[in-house]
Structure 1
Amino acid sequence: MYVPLNVDKHWISMCVNFVSRSIEVFDCEGLKHTKSVDPFAVLIPRIIKAVHSSNNSKLKVKQYIMSVRISLFSCSVSYVPMPLLNKSSSDCGVYALKHIECHLLGLDFSLVNDSNIREARQKIAYDQWEAANDHVLISRMAQFTPPKKITNPVVELE
């Protein structure tokens, strides 16, 4: 699961891997954001429990949750090393999105740097404008109806 996260007016991105119980953090300024990232590490067992609760299958998560409890309800968090970027201090959101894209596609993070971030920002803006004017997308959005089934948002942990 890829997550862009705003931390004190600064954007970072994360890759949450439920299988390996790990979180990779991508920050163009190379800082650590423990207070903002650690809650995600605690959230993983709760998400697993919620999925299990809403699905009456034979999925066994008790052992998973117990192993996470042993490690203080957390998973491993690692900060991906990268050079200090974002010297203009205004493109951290673009960096966050581009780091997600690089990670997803298996590309080297060095492809995203201060010399090409302006063009990346313009491309993202154009892609959003193009999507906002796409008649097929507009039609599909107009026909969307939210699911009628409402589940209980509270999940009890064992």
Structure 2
Amino acid sequence: MCINLVNPTIDVFDCGGRKNTRYVEAFTVLIPRIVKAVQSPGKKKDYNAKQYTVSYVLMRDLNMRGNDCGAYALKFIECHLLGLDFSLINDENTQETRHKIAYDLWEAANDEVLQYRMSKFKPPQRAPGKIVELN
């Protein structure tokens, strides 16, 4: 999903061609409430929390296997972000993308500096915050 906060819209990219309406519709109601809840105190009165509209992006017929969807999703997000035409996404490019992702993960797993940094990582402490009830 690509959520546009300026034009209250949600673009849904589903490699499997399914419309998960139940899950997507929950976001259309929830996102405006979250935006309203985190707004500056003086602006809450001015904000009209209206429901987001949903559009399903037409996905071309690609030869996706069950384990390829992640790579396809990354490429669709990349094209959407860069304003590129989705026709650039094809089975050959995505197969190459899967190999690059696998190699990058393998390389990172064998990087001594990264291994050291990860061994010393401590999650940040979170201060208890005010709980906001959404009606």
Q: TM-score by structure 2 length?
A: 0.79
In structure 2, what is the Cα distance between the partners aligned to 1:104 and 1:136?
31
Q: TM-score by structure 1 length?
A: 0.69
Give yes or no for the alignment of 1:35 onto 2:22. yes
Q: Judge which range, 121-130 or 43-52, deviates more.
A: 43-52
Matches within 5 A, 1:71-110: 74-110=51-87
The higher radius of gyration belongs to 2
Matched AA of 2:72? Y
Give SS of 1:48's match. Answer: helix
For these two proteins, the number of residue pairs brought into alignment is 134
Distance 1:148 1:110, change over 3 A: same
Candidates 95, 104, 111, aligned match of 1:127: 104
Q: CA RMSD in A?
A: 2.4
In structure 2, list runs of 5 or more residues that go unmatched: none
In structure 1, what is the Cα distance between the partners aligned to 2:115 and 2:44?
40
Structure with bigger strand share is 1
8 Å CA contact 1:25, 1:79 repeated in 2: yes
Matched AA of 2:6? V
8 Å CA contact 1:16, 1:24 repeated in 2: yes
Q: Deviations over 1:113-150 (max 9, x none)?
A: 12332211111112222333444444444244413412
In structure 2, what is the Cα distance between the partners aligned to 1:150 and 1:60?
24
Q: Which residue of 1 aligns with 2:43?
A: 60
Structure with bigger helix share is 2
Q: Which residue of 1 aligns with 2:93?
A: 116
In structure 1, list runs of 5 or more residues that go unmatched: 1-13, 69-73
Give yes or no for the alignment of 1:147 onto 2:125. yes
8 Å CA contact 1:46, 1:155 repeated in 2: no
8 Å CA contact 2:32, 2:49 repeated in 1: no
Query: Offset at 1:34?
Result: 0.8
